[in-house]
């Protein structure tokens, strides 16, 4: 099987790039961390990679809004390169802050003449949420989620409340299969509010993909549960073969097999 090359894009404030590198290397990929300034100087470098990852953290300190500054850099300096990357049927993954960046850059849900169709707002709890959550895979449109039904992973964010501008937009995303991950309760039922949906997202949405399925954004952190010992109760419940998030990264690698 060919070994895909993964570019993990980092910026000032990014702090989950190491975990993303570890997860993809464990899945069998070759991974390189690249600073946003280096990629701006040489956008053609994207052509050497098959997977682009925007990891979690607090790019630029979330000074303007979560992910907004990095999103602006993608729009203003790398739009053509990223569009070419996606059009060649390569994969893009945004985790937490990376999800915020992809959404605000218009790479998941393109804006219309009136502006963005959806955004990630402040958690309705009014506080930073750091907890483990249960997710259900509600659509298999994304190659990252092939063969998966659910997973148990942590969240750590202050702005993860997925909100659409109009109800028809939310309905359209669901009908198109772009709502790929939803929060649930521990038994897999609808989350029915806080704390199972930690941020108040509409329709319990935890992750969406673009119309092609090649671009995926999610608020929870699958890269923080790739080892069985990362499970918070492994000493009481026993070790699984691997962490729940590992399959996502393996799916991405095998997509190019």
Rounding to the nearest 10 degrees, give the CA dihedral for residues 127, 138, 179, 144: 90
Q: What are the counts of helices (DSSP H) followed by strands (DSSP E) for the chain?
A: 8, 11
The one catalytic residue among 134, 221, 225, 231: 221
Active site residue 16: no
Residue positions counted in the chain: 257
Residue 30 contacts by C-beta under 8 Å, 6 or more apart in sequence?
3, 4, 5, 6
| Annotation marks residue 32 as catalytic | no
Q: Taking a C-beta distance cutoff of 8 angstroms, is the pair 98, 131 a contact?
A: no
Catalytic residue chosen out of the listed positions 96, 129, 164, 231: 96
Name the residue among 80, 94, 96, 83 with its Cα closest to residue 133: 96
Round to whole Å and give the CA distance between 61 and 40. Answer: 20
- Helix intervals (H) in 35-146: 36-41, 68-77, 79-87, 97-104
Q: Which one from 19, 129, 159, 223 is the annotated catalytic residue?
A: 223
Confirm whether 159 is a catalytic residue. no
What are the φ/ψ torsions at residue 135 (nearest 5 degrees)? -125, 145
Which residues are tagged catalytic? 96, 221, 223
């Amino acid at each position: 099987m060919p070994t895909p090359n993964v570019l993990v894009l980092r910026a000032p404030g990014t702090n989950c790039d190491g975990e993303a590198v570890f997860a993809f290397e464990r899945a069998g990929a070759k991974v390189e961390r690249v600073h946003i300034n280096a990629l701006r100087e040489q956008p053609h470098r994207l052509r050497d990679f098959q997977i682009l990852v925007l990891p979690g953290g607090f790019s630029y300190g979330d000074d303007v809004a979560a992910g907004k500054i990095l999103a602006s850099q993608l729009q203003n300096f790398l739009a053509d390169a990223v569009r070419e990357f996606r059009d060649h049927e390569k994969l893009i993954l945004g985790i937490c802050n990376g999800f915020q960046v992809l959404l605000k850059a218009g790479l998941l849900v393109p804006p219309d003449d009136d502006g963005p169709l959806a955004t990630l707002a402040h958690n309705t709890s009014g506080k930073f949420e750091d907890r483990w959550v249960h997710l259900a895979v509600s659509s298999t449109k994304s190659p990252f989620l092939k063969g998966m039904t659910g997973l148990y992973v942590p969240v750590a964010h202050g702005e993860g409340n997925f909100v659409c501008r109009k109800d028809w937009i939310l309905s359209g995303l669901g009908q198109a299969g772009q709502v790929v991950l939803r929060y649930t309760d521990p038994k897999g039922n609808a989350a029915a509010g806080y704390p199972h949906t930690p941020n108040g997202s509409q329709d319990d949405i935890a992750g969406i993909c673009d119309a092609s399925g090649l671009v995926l954004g999610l608020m929870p952190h699958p890269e923080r549960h790739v080892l069985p010992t990362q499970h918070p109760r492994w000493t009481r419940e026993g070790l699984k073969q691997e962490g729940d998030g590992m399959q996502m990264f393996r799916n991405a690698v095998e997509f190019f097999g």
